[in-house]
Structure 1
Amino acid sequence: MARIVVNGKDLPFTSVRTTAWINGPANDLIVTTKQRVGELYRFMWSRVPVMLTMYFLQGADLMRFARVAGIDESITGEYIYHFIW
C-alpha cells in the first residue's frame, strides 16, 4: 500500500495489515503509525464513520466508509488504529 487518507488527511504508516486477508475479502484494516491522531479518538467514541481511502502501488484506489473500532498504543510509542467496514 502506498498511501492512506482518512477524511482527506494523510495518515503516515509503518505497517498495514488485515485480519481476514487469507480467509477471503478483507473487512478491516489495521494501521500502525508513529502519529497520534486525536480526531480518530473522537470518531471511535462517537461511532461516526470516517472516509478511508487506500492507494495501492499498482495505481488502484479503494474508498470505504469505515468505523474506528479500536486504538492501541504500544510501548514503543506506536499507535495501532483498527478500522472496520
Structure 2
Amino acid sequence: MADIESTPPRPPIDYPDPILHDAWTGSSVRELRDARDDLTRAKARYDEAVCAARRKCLSWGQIGTILGVSRQHLHRRYRGLVD
C-alpha cells in the first residue's frame, strides 16, 4: 500500500482521445461513405468519357493512350456499349 501511495500522481489528460472522438463523431464512417460515393461517381464519369470519346470517333488506341490502359482492355469492357 505504501508503494501505491508513494507514486506520483498522473498528469491530467488535456487532449481528447482520438479513438473516442472518432466514435462519438462518426468521422471515420462518414469519410468511408464519402470515399465510396466519390469512387462510384468517378467510375460513372470514366465510363461516360470513354463512350463519348468513341462516339466522337476516337480509336480504342487513342483513348487507351490517354487513359494509360490498353486498347484491348477498353474494347473488351466497352464494345457492347458503343460502336
TM category, shorter = under 0.3
**Structure with the higher fraction of residues in helix conformation:** 2
**Structure with the higher fraction of residues in strand conformation:** 1
Q: TM-score, normalised by structure 1?
A: 0.24
Q: Which has the larger radius of gyration?
A: 2
Give the number of the structure with larger relative contact order, counting CA–CA contacts within 8 Å between residues 6 or more apart. Answer: 1
Q: TM-score, normalised by structure 2?
A: 0.25
